[in-house]
Amino acid sequence: MLRELIEEKVSAISEQIIELRRKLHQHPEVSGSEFETKAILLEAIKDYDFEIVEGYYNTGFVIIIRGSKPGRTIGLRVDMDALEMDELVDKPFKSQNSGVMHACGHDGHMAMGIAAAIVLNDLKDQFQGNVKLIFQPAEENARSGGGAQFMIADGVLEDEPRVEAMVGMHIWPDLMVGQAGTRVGPMMAASDPFKIDIVGQGGHASMPNKCVDPILIASHTILGLQSVVSRNVDPFEPAVVTIGMLNSGTRYNTIPETAEIIGTVRTFDETTRQLIKTRIEQIAETTATAYGGKATVNYTFGYPSVVNEKGMVDCAEQSIREVLGDENYVNVERPAPGGEDFAYFTQKVPSVFI
Ligand code: NI
């Protein structure tokens, strides 16, 4: 009965939600500057008389839906930011902000969040307790800490009504439309950026004997780093070490003074995470020393692993089976090596990331 009512209400707003998604897609903004995004969202709900609380970490805000009877409070997390990249496809709703694109699908998450708010608000006579929809900026900003932990620090979970459990969702290309899935335990990886600064001795390309070549040091260092997963990490523990940037030199005929290596580490287990950090430091420092230079490693513990709690997973699974059908529930066998700052919510309250 309730399910039919929900479906009816969702169909009634589906056109306006598709339109909202496309509008958000046209106006993507990078982490920390989601001002127009927030304005579009508030405009979309201006006729609904929602209880809105602003002021959580810059553009973060919450919509509180209070059920007619008292009860506990669940939080739904919605991320808001886009990525620094050009949109190459040509759709009528393509990005209008050059160099920025909703390539991770957070425009879809926001539209879903607004739809949930509208439908839950319509049905608030039907449930006990409260729902707090948390619109969170700067999910993509792993190098500066991400929006989730700052919203938590600003009291988004503790403020009345206090959130006792969290649900997050990410649209996912491996699943078919109409499917949803999750798993117990680790769901997304810990994601740690690192930077290695190598200092050699610059000079003319024709006199390498008078120089210390940082490019050669960087090359050996990168090869050495690729032995960490294959030779140091337990073969039953998944881990990734990727170098995404290697910068050095300004001319073909000089030996530069410095080189920098920038990369990321993905792990699911805390011991493995610590081990990889230590090995990166050892390999970088000793390799540079071996070739006469010096290396400094700047390793940042980024987002921790998203860990789903069993009770919340059971609850989500039951709902997905009921609403989408048994055949559309996907038991996600392996966690994903991507990073996600929903992890900070999972550290505070029982949570599920779907
Ligand atoms: Ni994302």
Q: Is residue 254 a contact partner of residue 272, using CB atoms and an 8 Å limit?
A: no
What are the boundaries of each domain within the chain?
2-187+305-353, 189-299
Is residue 43 pLDDT above 80, yes or no?
A: yes
Closest C-alpha to 221, from 198, 239, 205: 198
Is residue 320 pLDDT above 80, yes or no?
A: yes
**Identical fold, 2-187+305-353 and 189-299:** no
Q: Left (φ > 0), alpha (ψ -120 to 50) or beta: where does 9 sit?
A: alpha
11-20, 184-193, 215-224: least confident range: 184-193
Each residue's pLDDT tens digit, 255-306: 999 999 999 999 998 899 999 999 999 999 999 999 999 999 999 999 999 9
**104 CA → ligand 1 middle, Å:** 5
Is residue 177 pLDDT above 90, yes or no?
A: yes
Q: Is residue 83 a contact partner of residue 140, using CB atoms and an 8 Å limit?
A: yes
pLDDT on residue 2: 81
Q: How far apart are CA 198 and CA 296, in angstroms?
A: 7
Closest C-alpha to 244, from 227, 269, 225: 225
Q: Work out the mean pLDDT of the chain and round it to a whole number.
A: 96
**145 CA → ligand 1 middle, Å:** 15
DSSP secondary structure of 211-278: SB-HHHHHHHHHHHHHHIIIIIS-TTS-EEEEEEEEEE-S-TTEE-SEEEEEEEEEESSHHHHHHHHH
**168 CA → ligand 1 middle, Å:** 11
CATH number for the segment(s) 189-299: 3.30.70.360
**339 CA → ligand 1 middle, Å:** 9
CATH 3.40.50.980 describes domain 2-187+305-353: no
pLDDT on residue 3: 85
pLDDT on residue 143: 74
Closest C-alpha to 37, from 97, 90, 98: 97
Question: pLDDT band at residue 1, thresholds of 50, 70 and 90?
Answer: confident
Dihedrals phi, psi of 196, to nearest 5 degrees: -115, 120
**317 CA → ligand 1 middle, Å:** 22
Residue 26 tokens, joined: 């046209």
**81 CA → ligand 1 middle, Å:** 8
Torsion (CA) 305, 165, 119, 32 in degrees, nearest 10: -50
**341 CA → ligand 1 middle, Å:** 9
**170 CA → ligand 1 middle, Å:** 7
**202 CA → ligand 1 middle, Å:** 42
Question: pLDDT band at residue 207, thresholds of 50, 70 and 90?
Answer: very high
Residue 307 tokens, joined: 């860990």
Is residue 142 pLDDT above 90, yes or no?
A: no
Question: pLDDT band at residue 59, thresholds of 50, 70 and 90?
Answer: very high
**139 CA → ligand 1 middle, Å:** 7
**252 CA → ligand 1 middle, Å:** 39
Is residue 37 pLDDT above 90, yes or no?
A: yes
**340 CA → ligand 1 middle, Å:** 7
pLDDT on residue 126: 92
Cβ of 7: how many Cβ atoms within 10 Å? 12
Question: 193 pairs with which residues across the strands?
Answer: 264
* Averaged pLDDT, 110-116: 98
pLDDT on residue 141: 87
- Stated pTM of the model: 0.84
